[in-house]
Amino acid sequence: MADGMTAMVDRLAQHGLPRDHHDGACSARVTILLRHLARVFAIALIAVPAGLAFVWNPAIALPIGFALVAVLYMLSALAIVAVHRVGLSTAGESADRHQPAPMQDLLDFCPGLFLQLDAMGAVRQTGGRDRDMFLSFLREPFERPFVEQVHVSDRIRFIQALDQLRQGVDAVLIDLRLDRPILGLDHTQFMNIRLDMTARRDADGMLEGVLAQMLDIEGEMEIRAAVSAKESEAAEAHEAKSRFLAAVSHELRTPLNAILGFSDILAGEYFGKLENDRQREYVQLIRQSGAHLLSVVNTMLDMSKIEAGRYELMLETFPVAETIVGCEQMLSLQATSKGVKLTSRLPRALGDITADPRALRQIIINLVSNAVKFTDAGGAVTIDASLRDNRLAISVSDTGIGIAADKIEALGRPFMQIHNDLNRNYEGSGLGLSLVKGLTALHGGSFAIESRPGEGTVVTVSLPVDGSGAAAQAAMSDNMVEFPPRLLAVEPASRESGKETVNGKAKAKIA
């Protein structure tokens, strides 16, 4: 009897229960539950009427027992089916919620205006968060080529971008101007936009459409214009400063030459004897101060020429060793008077170099003078030179005070001094190293500094031996020089070794 009821339940479930959304079969779980329920009520169908027959008259107990069991079975089956249907409905709603939203709905949340173009560039559909704002000034954009909305001067750029997409490029980014048919009080005639175009291709890889995002870049264009104006102002101020330095330097040289000339005449006592040694001392101080000021003026003049790109190198081929030895002899008195030992270590086969002799002497003199100035009595300054890979390397090392790591980046700037407090112990205008870097740059050379505070400093200048660096700088078209050349960041290897190193490949051009 139970098997018969189970078979009947299967037939009823096959016809009456809802189908599964995935494979079309009725829910196996509900069918199994109904089978178990049928087996239980099959036993109850006998037990309940028999039990009632002991209480009531069998003629009354049996029909009531059968009816009671049947009703309870139907109610239980309906409850199981109802719970199953509610579960299916909830699962369906959850699945619908997790379905991806249509592309058009997603585009409406993105900034700007989205255009769906066909392969010929005609607008088929629009979307985007700012759609209404853009469409308010576009002239009937639908079913028309978008190029008609673009400023005449920019149309060729849009056509080239569309052609790139046809040739296989996946995306193109261009800046365009759109005409405004209606101008507001705060609107210009043209609107600057950025168009990000992405290709849509068919199965064969052919272009079937373009999805383009249009963004308003008016703010960016205003920033660009402001930056360009500031750059122009800075360039004009820079040029005015260079002209001022050149004019002041020229004006100062004339009276300084007179001061030096007349102080030499007084010191030589050509037109009469000075009365006492104090007068002679004062004349000598006037001569020294004038010579120092003339040196500063000449340095400022050279710096302004380099900065303006008007410093001319007079290239010659000459022995390097003679120039280095001459500079050593020139500065030996200064080193001796301070108690500093000045020496040079030069190889015999140092050979010749093609460069500007005056500029090379200035480089060496400024480096050695700085080394002597910042080395205390009992210290040593050494000049080394070597040839490697068609380049001459001149190094000036000292046992002086050294340079702190946080100060080394400031080296090479005009009028910049490491010890710049009011009670500094070292004289100077802060132009020597700037001039060295500028002259090195004009020769197409490089510049490097290694230093340890309290131990000393090594400055190395590397120049092409054949003058090719200066020739390359002269051949460059814009005739400008980066002055002062910036020092590069400290190399990691030098940090690990405990030395601070600054290397810079100088950029320079000759007028």
Pair of tokens at residue 229: 């104006």
pLDDT at position 419 is: 54
Q: What angle do CA 74, 78, 79 make, to 5 degrees?
A: 120
Beta strands 123-127; 113-118: pairing state: antiparallel
Taking 50 as the pLDDT cut, the residues of the chain under it are 2, 19-26, 95-101, 420-424, 477-511
Ordered domains of the chain (ranges, CATH):
2-98 (no CATH), 104-216 (3.30.450.20), 225-306 (1.10.287), 311-505 (3.30.565.10)
Q: Please report the DSSP string for 279-314 in residue order.
A: HHHHHHHHHHHHHHHHHHHHHHHHHHHHHHT-PPP-
Q: Beta-strand (E) ranges in 202-264?
A: 207-216
Q: Which tens digits make up the pLDDT trace of 219-240?
A: 888 898 899 999 999 888 877 8
Q: Rounded distance, CA 396 to CA 462, Å?
A: 12
**Per-residue b or e along 191-226, where b marks 16 or more CB atoms closer than 10 Å to that residue's CB:** bbbebebebeeeeeeebebbbbbbbbbeeeeeeeee
User: What is the pLDDT at residue 280?
Assistant: 87
What pLDDT does residue 3 have?
57
Alpha-carbon gap, residue 29 to 496, rounded angstroms: 72
3-class secondary structure, 411: coil
Helix (H) / strand (E) element for 382: namely strand 380-388
8 token code pair:
């009947």
**Distance between CA 87 and CA 101 in Å, rounded?**
24
Residue 53: DSSP 8-state = H
pLDDT confidence of residue 404: 78
Q: Quick one: pLDDT at residue 471?
A: 65
Would the pTM count as exceeding 0.75?
no
C-alpha to C-alpha distances, 464 to 68, 306, 348, 358, 446, nearest whole angstrom: 114, 19, 19, 16, 9
Structure token digits, residue 470:
């200066």
pLDDT computed for residue 474 by the predictor: 62
Beta-strand relationship, 316-319 and 207-216: unpaired
Write the burial class of residue 131 (CB in 10 Å: 0-12 exposed, 13-18 middle, 19+ buried): middle
